[in-house]
Amino acid sequence: MSKVQVKPGQSVTFTGRAKGVKVGTKVVLLHMHNGKWTPLKSSTVLKNGSSYSLVTKFNNKGKEQLRVMAGKIVSPTVVVTVK
């Protein structure tokens, strides 16, 4: 698990590759909310090379548990601390 610290309203970019997933597959940023993984409004599609880039902002202070989902593939969880 990686940890990142940002200020409220600061943009955070998530990038990576999703091997074994078709180009054009929707990629969604998920966060843990009330014990369930729910999608944020940040989404994109896989580009050539199976790469993606998602940008979002967090306005509320605290810790956000996040992961990326491409098709049925899910990334490891990342914690972003908003201070």
Q: What's residue 37's pLDDT?
A: 97
Sequence-ordered strand ranges (E) for the chain: 2-6, 11-17, 26-33, 36-45, 51-57, 62-70, 73-74, 78-82
Residue 22 phi, psi (nearest 5): -65, 145
**Vertex 41: Cα angle to 16 and 57 (nearest 5):** 75
Q: Has residue 1 got a pLDDT over 50?
A: no
Place of tokens 């590759």: 17
Q: What is the mean pLDDT of the chain?
A: 92
Sorting pLDDT into bands at 50, 70 and 90, what band is 3? low
* 67: nearest Cα among 57, 82, 77: 77
Q: Say what percent of the chain tops pLDDT 90.
A: 82
What's this model's pTM, rounded to 2 decimal places?
A: 0.86
